[in-house]
Structure 1
Amino acid sequence: MDVRDFDFHLPEELIAQTPLLDRTASRLLVLNKETGDIEDRKFPSIVDELNEGDCLVLNDTRVMPARLYGIKEDTGANIEVLLLKQLEDDKWETLVKPGKRVKVGTTITFGDGKLTATCIDEAEHGGRVLQMNYQGIFHEVLDELGEMPLPPYIKEQLNDQERYQTVFAKHRGSAAAPTAGLHFTEELLNQIREKGVHIAFITLHVGLGTFRPVSVDSIEEHEMHAEFYQMSEGTARLLQEVREKGKRIIAVGTTSARTLETIVKEHGSFREASGWTSIFIYPGYTYRGLDGLLTNFHLPKSTLVMLVSALAGRENILKAYRHAVEERYRFFSFGDAMLIR
């Protein structure tokens, strides 16, 4: 399958640069995955799209202030570091810029020495493994020195860092936000609960694997970066009950979708589980862990466009995206949402 089959024209001005003041003020495109029919709605109408007994599955990961700016200890050259995932002890897999300046043995210092990092190994895709050295608690140091790792297509400064966190963010560990969840407020979640809809939480710490460009021509040759996931016994039991009663499971975001599919694929049903997933979902894949998906609009030729195409069909997705462009929907992390039902 050719990557170019998932390309579409996106005017740059449709890439949302800042979040809306009201999280729920986004637009909502509703796509029927069977018929391809499209409806233009406002995001609060998500309540009307859910039925009593359905279950909404949210990713409660919390984004780390994972971008650090430091200098090489020997030359004073500026170095940018993006933390991807913790390995063991105080070792981290990272991306560094410029990478050619950071060889094994290089030491980078941050915040006048409050944190130093020594490169101890090279990782896949040009990454570096850094050994961190500091006094006190690492995440407190990171809160002081780090910045929120906004995607490169966002050029504007983010004044309120919490707008790149969901209101239910809990478990710190992501290098990027699960952006479909950014549309919810506690008030809207309570309205959903009052309708008799279950709300369940899973955790997937978002790395760069979800967003890394596909650099091969054939989809089958692309390899996903592994990301850590976790599902509790309570969530697994709830999802099993929902499924047994014939109600729907709606994943909020592609990260929730990948977690659900990973667990059902590996265990045959929902169960308490944790581990690393590198699942790659594209057309030809049969979903077993969800019935619908709430998601934002994704980059052309990305693995995420392929994931939603596996659920709704490539033609339906590209038709929906063309419609979104024509109707001036806002795209990507701070953009509008699409419900595939």
Structure 2
Amino acid sequence: MNVEEFDFELPDELIAQTPLPDRTASRLLVLDRKTGETKDGHFLSIIDELNEGDCLVLNDTRVLPARLYGSKKDTGASIEILLLKQLEDDQWETLVKPAKRVKKGTEVVFGDGQLTAICTGEAEHGGRIMKMSYIGIFHEVLDELGEMPLPPYIKETLPDQERYQTVFAKNRGSAAAPTAGLHFTKELLTSIEKKGVHIAYITLHVGLGTFRPVSVENIEEHEMHAEFYQMSAGTARLLQSVRGNGGRIIAVGTTSARTLETIIKDHGQFLEASGWTSIFIYPGYEVRGFDGLLTNFHLPKSTLVMLVSAFSTKEYVLNAYRHAVNERYRFFSFGDAMLIR
């Protein structure tokens, strides 16, 4: 299957640069995955699309202020580092710009020296392993020196950093937000629960896969970057109960979807589990871990467009995207939402 099959025309002005003041003010496009029929609405109508006994699965990862700007200790040259994955002994897998300036042994200084990083080797896909040294508590230092790692297609600054966090963000570790969850407020989640819909939480720390385009023509040759996931025993029991009682499992975001599919693929049922997943879902894959998917609109030719196409069909999804473009929906991280059911 060729990557070009997942391309579509998207005017630059439809790429949302800033979040709406009200998280729930986004639009919602509903796609029937079996017929291709679409329906336009507003995000608050999500509650009308859910039934008593259904379960929303939310990713409670919290985005780190993972983008750091520093300088080489020996030359003063500017270096940008994006933290991707924490390893052992204060070592991190990172993306570095410009990477050619950072070789094994290179030391980078941040702030007034509260944080330094020494390159201890290369990582996969051109990354670098950096060992951190700091004064105090690492996450407090990171909160002071780091910036929220907004995607490269967002050119505007974000005055309120919490708008790139979900209201239920809890477990630190992501290099990007699970953006489908940005539409929810605590009040909306309470209303959904009052309807008899269950709320379940899983964790997947978003890593390099979010930033890495598909660079091969044949998508089957693409390799996903491994990301850490975790499901508690309580969530597993809830999901098993929902399935047993005939309720639907609605994955909120592709990160939740990938976590659910990883566990079902590895164990055949929902159970307490954690580890690293590099699952790649594209048309031809049989989805078994969820019955509905709430997601934002994704980049052309991205693995995320391929995932949503696997849940429906490529034709129905791309038709829905063309409809969204014609109706001037807002795209990507701060954009509108689509419910596939």
TM-score normalized with structure 2 length? 1.00
Give the structure 1 partner of residue 3 of structure 2. 3
Give the structure 1 partner of residue 181 of structure 2. 181
For residue 136 of structure 1, report the CA deviation from its aligned partner: 1.3
Give the structure 2 partner of residue 320 of structure 1. 320
Cα separation, 2, equivalents of 1:189 and 1:51: 14
For residue 89 of structure 1, report the CA deviation from its aligned partner: 1.6
Cα separation, 1, equivalents of 2:285 and 2:245: 25
For residue 135 of structure 1, report the CA deviation from its aligned partner: 1.5
Cα separation, 1, equivalents of 2:239 and 2:308: 21
1:264-283 equivalences under 5 Å are 264-283=264-283
The answer to whether the 8 A contact 1:210-1:224 is kept is: no
Give the structure 2 partner of residue 53 of structure 1. 53
The answer to whether the 8 A contact 2:176-2:210 is kept is: no
- Answering whether residue 338 of structure 2 is matched by residue 338 of structure 1, we say yes
Cα separation, 2, equivalents of 1:210 and 1:262: 17
Cα separation, 2, equivalents of 1:89 and 1:201: 29
1:133-212 equivalences under 5 Å are 133-212=133-212
For residue 295 of structure 1, report the CA deviation from its aligned partner: 0.0
Give the structure 2 partner of residue 67 of structure 1. 67
Cα separation, 2, equivalents of 1:300 and 1:23: 25
Kindly provide the CA deviation profile for residues 80-138 of structure 1, in whole angstroms up to 9, marking residues without a partner as x: 00000101020000000000000101000000111000000001111000010111111
1:209-228 equivalences under 5 Å are 209-228=209-228
Cα separation, 2, equivalents of 1:318 and 1:55: 27
Give the structure 2 partner of residue 252 of structure 1. 252
Give the structure 2 partner of residue 81 of structure 1. 81
- Ranges of 4+ aligned residues in structure 1 off by more than 4 Å: none
TM-score normalized with structure 1 length? 1.00
The answer to whether the 8 A contact 1:285-1:310 is kept is: yes
The answer to whether the 8 A contact 1:211-1:303 is kept is: no
Cα separation, 1, equivalents of 2:192 and 2:332: 25
The answer to whether the 8 A contact 2:230-2:275 is kept is: yes
For residue 212 of structure 1, report the CA deviation from its aligned partner: 1.1
The answer to whether the 8 A contact 1:62-1:174 is kept is: yes
1:227-242 equivalences under 5 Å are 227-242=227-242
Cα separation, 1, equivalents of 2:110 and 2:163: 25
Output the aligned Cα RMSD: 0.5
Between the aligned residues of both structures, percent identity stands at 80
Give 3-state SS (helix, strand or coil) of 2:48's partner: helix
The answer to whether the 8 A contact 1:211-1:302 is kept is: no
Give the structure 1 partner of residue 289 of structure 2. 289
- Answering whether residue 18 of structure 2 is matched by residue 18 of structure 1, we say yes
The answer to whether the 8 A contact 2:214-2:222 is kept is: yes
